[in-house]
């Protein structure tokens, strides 16, 4: 039964302090939240710390989750993660790590990045995205790495759906412009 548990059932079990529900929660979201922090911060240890903070706050805030058509559990978790990231950025505790952890990326993520034929190409595209403003970078990570729907991103980012679409379009255009200068990776990302 726990494999096919709905978000609402999972919430109820978490509120009731069901240990198995905590495991399901981590299985469902931990790698995605870790990836979000790792791509945002570029540091394995910081990503782990922020990931742990996210789930601690999630458990504390679980009673505030409202399950309706516009709010998914995934969007709720990522809203908490984004708030933690913004707090961390405000504290100016930015530490860079040169070691690549791309082997930790799940290969079955639905995205334009799936078409990348090597880790080097993915690393190159991620280095381009790191040049973007924080909000643009987060929208791209949510959409193309984590596979959030545009409506979910709008909810997490507290933006309109049209604004999110506009950010995605402009960011994708910027990526294509940068790639066209290099010309080696353009076709994988710029053909819709």
Q: pTM, whole model, 2 decimals?
A: 0.62
User: Same fold for the domain at 1-104 and the one at 106-192?
Assistant: no
pLDDT of residue 109: 44
pLDDT in tens, 80-116: 999 998 888 777 544 333 333 343 443 444 444 444 4
Give domain limits for the chain.
1-104, 106-192
> Do the beta carbons of residue 151 and residue 179 sit within 8 Å?
no
Provide the CATH topology of domain 1-104.
Rna Polymerase Sigma Factor; Chain: A (1.10.1740)
Q: Residue 24: exposed, middle, or buried by beta-carbon count in 10 A (0-12, 13-18, 19+)?
A: middle
pLDDT in tens, 31-70: 999 999 888 888 888 889 999 999 989 988 887 776 654 5
CATH number of 106-192: 1.10.10.10
């Amino acid at each position: 039964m726990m494999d096919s548990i709905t978000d609402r059932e999972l919430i109820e079990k978490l509120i009731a302090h069901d240990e198995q529900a905590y495991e399901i929660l981590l299985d469902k979201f931990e790698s995605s939240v870790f990836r979000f922090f790792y791509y945002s911060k570029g540091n394995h240890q910081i990503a782990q710390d922020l990931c742990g903070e996210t789930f601690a706050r999630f458990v504390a805030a679980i009673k505030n989750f409202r399950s309706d058509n516009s709010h998914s559990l995934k969007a709720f978790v990522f809203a908490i993660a984004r708030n933690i990231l913004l707090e961390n950025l405000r504290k100016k505790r930015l530490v860079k790590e040169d070691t690549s952890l791309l082997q930790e990326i799940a290969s079955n993520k639905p995205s334009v990045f799936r078409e990348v034929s090597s880790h080097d190409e993915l690393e190159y595209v991620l280095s381009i995205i790191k040049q973007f403003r924080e909000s643009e970078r987060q929208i791209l990570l949510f959409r193309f790495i984590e596979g959030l729907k545009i409506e979910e991103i709008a909810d997490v980012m507290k933006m309109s759906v049209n604004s999110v679409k506009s950010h995605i379009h402009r960011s994708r255009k910027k990526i294509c412009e940068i790639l066209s200068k290099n010309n080696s990776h353009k076709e994988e990302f710029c053909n819709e």
